[in-house]
């Protein structure tokens, strides 16, 4: 008799526990899906000539201005997300870009970062840059230096939404920012955000 009652009570307790587990909430909400932040860089279409000594050179579709971009971050206050060059990469690598890449006499838009980030509103973008050389048609290759440890900080107000792409277009004047100092050419560019759109 007591054995049957004990089995019944045990069975009843197990049922109540099971019902409680089904109906209770853990208090842990599902995480938000990330969005994609794409940073593009495009040379100013009006910046097409440069003077070396006494000669003026106009850019051609075969010219090269090689730079390196690295260590991208996007900030919300003091917190940040690391930016990678491509969405399928999850390590920081340094890539080189030609600021004078042109097609049909127009500077081309270069994607310098494309990375998954949390869906938030961000207030600045930061990345490092180095330059190598400038080679114009009909003129010798010129070594161009960027100050050591050169980083650009761009104030922005951008929103990244879940499962959407936010594209931030940055503009640079490749020639206007090359300055001759003694026998050295320095490139320490100002860049600006000219467009932000959610795709």
pLDDT at 102 over 90: yes
Query: Does a structural domain hold residue 17?
Result: no
Per-residue tokens: 149: 């440890």
Query: Does a structural domain hold residue 20?
Result: no
Query: Does a structural domain hold residue 95?
Result: yes
Query: Does a structural domain hold residue 9?
Result: no
Q: What percent of the chain has pLDDT over 70?
A: 84
Gap between the terminal Cα atoms of the chain = 72
193 strand-pairing partners:
170
Hey, what's the torsion of the CAs at 169, 174, 177, 181, to 10 degrees? 150
Phi-psi region of 17 (alpha: psi -120 to 50; beta: other; left: phi over 0): alpha
Query: Does a structural domain hold residue 134?
Result: yes
Query: Does a structural domain hold residue 7?
Result: no
Query: Does a structural domain hold residue 16?
Result: no
20-24, 64-68, 156-160, 179-183, range with the lowest pLDDT: 20-24
Query: Does a structural domain hold residue 91?
Result: yes
Tracing tokens 């600021």 back to the chain, one arrives at 99
Rounded to two decimals, the pTM is 0.80
Whether 41 contacts 110, CB under 8 Å: yes
Alpha helices in the chain (DSSP H): 2-23
Domain interval for residue 39: 35-198
Q: How many domains does the chain have?
A: 1
């Amino acid at each position: 008799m007591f054995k049957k009652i004990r089995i019944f009570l045990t069975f009843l307790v197990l049922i109540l526990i099971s019902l409680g587990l089904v109906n209770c909430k853990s208090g842990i909400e599902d995480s938000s899906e990330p969005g994609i932040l794409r940073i593009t860089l495009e040379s100013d279409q009006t910046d097409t000539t440069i003077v070396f000594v006494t000669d003026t050179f106009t850019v051609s579709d075969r010219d090269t201005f090689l730079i390196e971009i690295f260590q991208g971050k996007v900030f919300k206050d003091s917190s940040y997300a690391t930016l990678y060059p491509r969405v399928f990469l999850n390590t920081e690598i340094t890539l080189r870009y030609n600021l004078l890449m042109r097609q049909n006499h127009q500077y081309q838009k270069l994607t310098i970062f494309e990375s998954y980030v949390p869906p938030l509103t961000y207030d600045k973008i930061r990345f490092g840059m180095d330059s190598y050389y400038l080679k114009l048609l009909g003129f010798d290759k010129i070594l161009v230096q960027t100050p050591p440890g050169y980083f650009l900080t761009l104030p922005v107000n951008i929103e990244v939404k879940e499962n959407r792409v936010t594209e931030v277009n940055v503009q640079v004047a490749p020639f206007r920012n090359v300055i001759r100092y003694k026998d050295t050419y320095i490139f320490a560019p100002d860049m600006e955000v000219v467009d932000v759109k959610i795709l």
